[in-house]
Structure 1
Amino acid sequence: MKRKTIDVITLGCSKNLVDSEQLIRQLEAVGFNVTHDTEAPEGEIAVINTCGFIGDAKEESINMILEFAQKKDEGELENLFVMGCLSERYLKELSIEIPQVDKFYGKFNWKELLGDLEKSYDDNLKLERTLTTPNHYAYLKISEGCDRKCSYCAIPIITGKHVSRPMEEIVEEVKYLVSKGVKEFQIIAQELTYYGIDLYKKQMLPELVERIADIPGVEWIRLHYAYPAHFPYDLLRVMRERSNVCKYMDIALQHISDNMLKLMRRNVSQEETYELIRRMREEVPGINLRTTLMVGHPGETESDFEELKEFVQKARFDRMGAFIYSEEEGTYSAKKYKDSIPEEIKQARLDELMSLQQSISAEIASEKVGKQFKVIIDRIEGDYYIGRTEFDSPEVDPEVLIQRKNNTLQIGSMCQVLITNSDDFDLFGEIV
């Protein structure tokens, strides 16, 4: 009997990607051929892992579902299943609106999909994944959910309360992934710094990172999605002392004016935010900071926005993203505030902020010319090897381009690179 092919399509963040990788491992173990995010899906069955974070992400997810629903209507597809955050949040509505979908699963009950395919979930494989990333790096999810109450955010509505994974389980997963050739780990969660409070009654991220750093074969550890309030400062000691913990912190600050931080329910002040950045840079010399900011939240005045611009100029973030506020039903801001700032003003503020950051990023990149960095090689593209420094996370940060001529490099290898040039986005270098 011909093995059926299942196309798995992942939308949204790296946390969704981990779920897809676990699903793919289970599907392959029971005899299916599985493709992931292929440009030309050809499977008899499709599974779409959706995102429901903000308006644009929800629209992308719905459009993808409708595209595959049409395939099913045209007889190109036998079964269509949908899982993930959008499905978790709008299960009943989607079931009515898009009847072509055989079944919708939430974010946490996707294991039922195996049963609906007349197979069973194998608990012995729960720490195993089929990586969709290059084999040398992986995302490592240490918790689910979020206990924060930010005004604009639907994540706690979708994912529920924060649930930390046991430390021993995480360590075992890292050892398994190292045995498969992974040497770089992006540690992810909805909110990293809360890790351990539910299980161990205190913040345990510093100890967890130390335990992962002690595992032979772990060469780089990078931290994503920290929260500024009640930051566990011992983490900076770990970052400073452990050579395989990248001097990189991804911490979403959202805004700087006290007015906006209060309206956003961020539980942190402007003064505390500046002090946090100061301590990070003082205690971990050379640390690179990535942040995300928001414009257009209800109540944001021109004065608030001017403070935000001044903050970007003073803080000089190595990496910065920004997005426009979109009202999400069920959130505090949707219930309490009127979304009164016109879209054209929101867009203008976003453009101005990103233009400001582009100049800063270009200046910071140019300062790296003439310096040497350890670079991990991700792939080959045209005439170049494409790699990253410890200050660059996959998919979201700039890359290092190295001419292929006269070089023979292995994907996943690390090498010393002299930076010879830069532009607004990337660095150019040559092997030392």
Structure 2
Amino acid sequence: MEPLTTNTFLTNSPHLSKEDNIGCVSLKDLINHHDLESMVQFNFLVDVGYLLSNMYDPSIPVTIVHGQKNNLNVYSNVQLYTPEIPDRYGVHHTKAMLLFFCEKITGIKSVQLVIMTANMIEQDWEDMTQGVYRTPRCPLKPTATTNESPFEQDLIKYLRAYKLRSVYEAIAKLRKYDFSSCKGILIGSVPGYHRQSASVFRDWGIERLATVLRQHVPSSSFHSELILQCSSLASSPQKWFLELCESMSQTKTNTGVAPTIKVVYPTMDTASKSFTGRERSGDFLRFERGSYEKNHVWFDKYLCDWQSNDAGRQRLMPHIKTYTRIERGTDGTTVIAWHLLTSANLSRAAWGEYQKNKTQIYVKSFELGVLFCPSLWVKKKDCFFFFPAKKMKQHVHNNDNIIEVRLPYDLPLVPHPRPMSCFTRLPS
């Protein structure tokens, strides 16, 4: 019996000890395979040379959908595309890849989806804390009439939103493969006005996550925390922040105790002591000083420092984005109600903003993540529990029906000191 796992990992780093890198993955682990036949990369920043240098065969066909306005291409096997972004404040921020495999001896074909938080540049993969989800290698469907799994339906729905010929070609290939073994639920954002009168209202962003939580997460009478952890904090009104937290607090019946809200983001002191230091950390830890000064009166109480000693990444600043609800039972045990790994930071551009009395959502950016909760593993009368895993603990104890999720930070959380010393950067 294969171990039950979320297939989520932290990335390894040359800055860390061998012990801290156990159970982690590198870019080479993902794409340096002799049977990798072609791939489609989705990202914001892409260093094509760096990408190809990590491949077993850098001459295979590569399609890249990216968010840069200018990206020179000198490789004949690489095709570059930028999707249309209607809003000037929106970006193509999704970080994912479709990997198509063909075993050279047997001819066996498979496909794998990878969702990550790292840009396709060396600094992201070596100098920061990042997260990766990868599906199993999904085989060809037994017949052309085999039904689509919910995971496949959600993936294709997201890819269609690009309206790019190259992505349509990838969709045609994907339809041949069986994604039924994939346990996660995709949570995506695509630019546009998504109205309640249309069927797409609950497909994207803040409403997509709320809908999934109402379908899959039971209410609880135990104390819980909703932990929002990201690398960028945009200028956001308090009203929007509370609406986002309300959506992320949804359960099947919406009864029980509302969660306490926490936001994990480094202090100035923590960033200064990191491998990237205060100056380089400002390249990717984005919280403009003006935005903080405008919001700190109501926002300070939510902030918790980046503490990652048990997780092994105290000095490796977070570019990872995770949203997690944890519950504490009467015996003091910490259980994860749900966990989301995503490209989406804490911003209206990423999650969308309710408009017209919550009958419309306006989203500016492309984002993609994957959510896990215990109900996705329930079979018959079995009950699976998610527990936070410390470093070196990656897999499931089947006999206890436990699935361990390796969080990038330590629990319990540590509030920011008073007076506040949140890491901010001057406007660029």
Higher RCO, 1 vs 2 (CA within 8 Å, ≥6 residues apart): 2
TM-score scaled by length of structure 1: 0.35
TM-score scaled by length of structure 2: 0.36
Q: Higher helix fraction: Structure 1 or Structure 2?
A: 1
